[in-house]
Structure 1
Amino acid sequence: MAFGALGGDMVRNIAVLLCAFSLVSKAHAEPAVAPIPVKVVVVSMFELGKPTGDAPGEYQFWVERQKLDHIYPFPLGEYDLRMNDQGLLGICTGGGTSNATSSIMALGLDPRFDLSKAYWVIAGIAGGDPQDVSLGTAAWARHVVDGDLLYEIDAREIPATWPYGLLPLGAKQPNGKSIGWTVDTIHFPLNAKLAEWAYDLTKEHPVADSPGIAAFRKLYTGYPNAIRPPFVTLGDNLSASTYWHGDKLNQWANDWMHLQAGKDSNFMMADMEDSGTLTALRRLARTHRIDLDRVLVLRTASNYSMPPKGKTAAWSTTAPYPEEGRPALEAAYQVGNRVVQKLINGWPAYRDKLPAQP
């Protein structure tokens, strides 16, 4: 009996070895598929429903208008990846810094794609500072700053001498110097020359106005830039998963941008993902899977980050976006696509040399 059982084990072991040998032989017989070279990755952050055929979020215009018809299942992300024959790859990360970080890291490590020469155009809507922009305005960023990594105390306990209850990590007071510890994922300086190239390419682009945003911006009397028709500019992003709002926090956002990115920075747009996206891209760049100098960030104002005079922060926080943010969604696509098409059509030049290089 014992001999018979041993004989059965031997037979099973031989079968397993033969199966393994067959798989190895097959792997050697069939060469690995080369990764797909990508020219441009368009990064959107949210979609309202499906990527096609319903009310649009940030992803849908790219999918439908650029015919991103090649679908690649992407279980590690929120939506499937989509690509067209021109080398444009689209991703929708999901809202918030954690979704953005994990989705971009998963894409960066995906063996199906060669991203080593790809440009990244992060294009989405944001809350705009009415001191700088109007609804529908598009801003190319030279700096992205994280707005979550800090100390915070309850507003009811803020000392009378403090302008707000937000402090740098390791600091003793607002805008104070960090002592003892901090993290390296607060400030993300982008390729300023590339951002300026994108701005020069799009600054005369006629960003469409509309009756809804025109009527809403009239509330912002006393803010000259807020009542202008939409335009294209250079301006920096504060990224925080917390949806903050109000006059005091808008002051903090401007101070925080200067503290972290220097006096040449200018807070204009508040979003919920870019620091997560840049964290993942920075890590991927360490292994040369992507080129961090090829990253562009474009945000368009769907709402304001503080109320107009005579309105409360609570009213402004919960007020509906004029026209449901559609003008800003259009601007993100229209302005962003002008740069995307320039890169794709000029690929023989831009593959190995950045547009901003002499």
Structure 2
Amino acid sequence: MRLLTRAFMLVAAALVVLPAQAAVPDVNAIAACVPGGPCAHPLPVRVVIVTMFEVGKDTGDAPGEFQYWKERRHLDTRIAFPQSHHDLWYDPKTQTLGMVTGMGSIKSATATLALGLDQRFDLRRAYWLVAGIAGIDPAKGSVGSAAWARYLVDGDLAHEIDAREIPKDWKSGYFPLHNHGIKPGAPPVIDGEVFEINGALRDWAFALTKDIKLPDDPGIQAERARYTDTPMAQRPPFVLKGDHVAAMTFWHGKLLTEWARDWTAYWTQGKGEFVTSAMEETGSYQSILYLDRIGRADKDRFMVLRAGSNYTMQPPGLSAADNLKRENEGYSGMRAALESLYVVGAKVVDEITGHWERYEKAPPK
């Protein structure tokens, strides 16, 4: 009898320490809430997947940035989002929300702010993962490679004079506000030209994913073989750390890649290193900063992952103009970059949503 009693007590004790399963949110509870209006029962969100564009439909055709997340992460619950570019999709089990902001910093900023102010969602502890394709500097990485950023540098806030009229000792006619040419030294004013996101979170995400084997294919193998003077460009896809320039102009070429390197070094005071180029991050993160001020988001839970779909400059033996024309016919690394974004990003999403008790109160370090 004593043995039975003791056994019962041990089992009962074990049951007490087992973590309780989180209740699955009732998505129907927000059905009566008007987008942007008051909502008594907001949906809890652990991770927001931020993509910028989709090609055609959300599923079943040629993929854009959102499709793999939609199909593979069970983002099956559609939520109307008329105040922005694209409806939202939600998985109640993992409390993951997927969004498509639209291309460009204006759309990414307004979509992020619109979501953050929407009272149908509780985003106070949500992690934000920006996952998008990018141009990649062949001196730093290869098509298909995925880079975690710390510095987000705006490439639009600037002065410009026509390249045909620049002084002979200038490298570029595109130069920082409050300065003449990209000169050494600290920038005199910083007002949205550069953002530093949570470096500890970036390093944690990189450590978690750095050994992942990324997909490779004959198409990107042929593309990287053309870059005979840059060893990093010839590597199979890999995960790295590197910073990001966001500009609304789709620029390309050797000279503009040199500009991006100098631009990043200038605005980060030598701490950052240009690796990827796209359009949106400075807009989306600016909105996160505003939302953080009113407790609607946590700026320290924002991550940027960009994968190279193309190189930012031409290979030896080809002009920038000819290479840009070739790229406009289709990025050789598009599919590989989308796969890399998903494989790498999903590792982080799984870790956060699967061990929420570790990450709910504070970001990892």
Report the TM range for the smaller structure's normalisation. 0.7 to 0.9
User: What is the CA distance between 1:324 and its match in structure 2?
Assistant: 6.2
Q: Secondary structure at the match of 1:263?
A: coil
Name which of 166, 169, 172 aligns with 1:161: 169
Q: Secondary structure at the match of 1:337?
A: helix
1:90 alignment partner in structure 2: 98
1:16 alignment partner in structure 2: none
User: What is the CA distance between 1:186 and its match in structure 2?
Assistant: 1.1
Name which of 348, 351, 357 aligns with 2:360: 351
1:337 alignment partner in structure 2: 346
Name which of 103, 110, 124 aligns with 2:111: 103
Q: Are the aligned partners of 2:47 and 2:353 in contact in 1 as well (CA < 8 Å)?
A: yes
Detail structure 1 runs of 4+ shifted over 2 Å in the superposition: 172-179, 320-324
1:54-104 per-residue CA deviation (whole Å, 9 max, x = no partner) reads 111001111111111111111121110010021000010000111111111
Q: Distance in 2 between matches of 1:214 and 1:257?
A: 29
Larger radius of gyration: 1
Residue 126 (1) aligns with residue 134 (2): yes
User: What is the CA distance between 1:239 and its match in structure 2?
Assistant: 0.4
1:214 alignment partner in structure 2: 221
Q: Secondary structure at the match of 1:34?
A: coil
Q: Distance in 1 between matches of 2:103 and 2:185?
A: 31
Q: Distance in 1 between matches of 2:194 and 2:101?
A: 21
Residue 113 (1) aligns with residue 121 (2): yes
Q: Distance in 1 between matches of 2:173 and 2:98?
A: 39
Q: How many pairs were matched up? A: 326
Q: Are the aligned partners of 2:253 and 2:313 in contact in 1 as well (CA < 8 Å)?
A: yes
Amino acid at match of 1:78: H
Q: Which moved more, 1:47-56 or 1:317-326?
A: 317-326
User: What is the CA distance between 1:296 and its match in structure 2?
Assistant: 0.6
2:157 alignment partner in structure 1: 149
Q: Secondary structure at the match of 1:196?
A: helix
Residue 191 (1) aligns with residue 198 (2): yes
1:18 alignment partner in structure 2: none
Q: Distance in 2 between matches of 1:322 and 1:111?
A: 39
Name which of 115, 138, 146 aligns with 1:138: 146
Name which of 200, 205, 213 aligns with 2:212: 205
Q: Are the aligned partners of 2:310 and 2:333 in contact in 1 as well (CA < 8 Å)?
A: no
Q: Secondary structure at the match of 2:231?
A: coil
Task: Return 5+ residue gaps in structure 2 as ranges.
Answer: 1-32
Q: Are the aligned partners of 1:48 and 1:55 in contact in 2 as well (CA < 8 Å)?
A: yes
Q: Are the aligned partners of 1:52 and 1:63 in contact in 2 as well (CA < 8 Å)?
A: yes
User: What is the CA distance between 1:32 and its match in structure 2?
Assistant: 5.2
In the TM superposition, 1:293-308 aligns within 5 A as 293-308=300-315
Q: Distance in 2 between matches of 1:190 and 1:84?
A: 27
Amino acid at match of 1:46: F
Amino acid at match of 2:258: Q
Task: Return 5+ residue gaps in structure 1 as ranges.
Answer: 1-26
Name which of 261, 266, 274 aligns with 2:268: 261
Task: Tell me the TM-score normalised to structure 1 length.
Answer: 0.88
1:162-198 per-residue CA deviation (whole Å, 9 max, x = no partner) reads 011111112122336799x855211110111110100
Share of identical aligned residues, percent? 45
User: What is the CA distance between 1:323 and its match in structure 2?
Assistant: 3.9
Task: Tell me the TM-score normalised to structure 2 length.
Answer: 0.86
Aligned-pair RMSD on alpha carbons? 1.7
Name which of 66, 73, 76 aligns with 1:66: 73
User: What is the CA distance between 1:115 and its match in structure 2?
Assistant: 0.3
Q: Distance in 2 between matches of 1:80 and 1:143?
A: 29
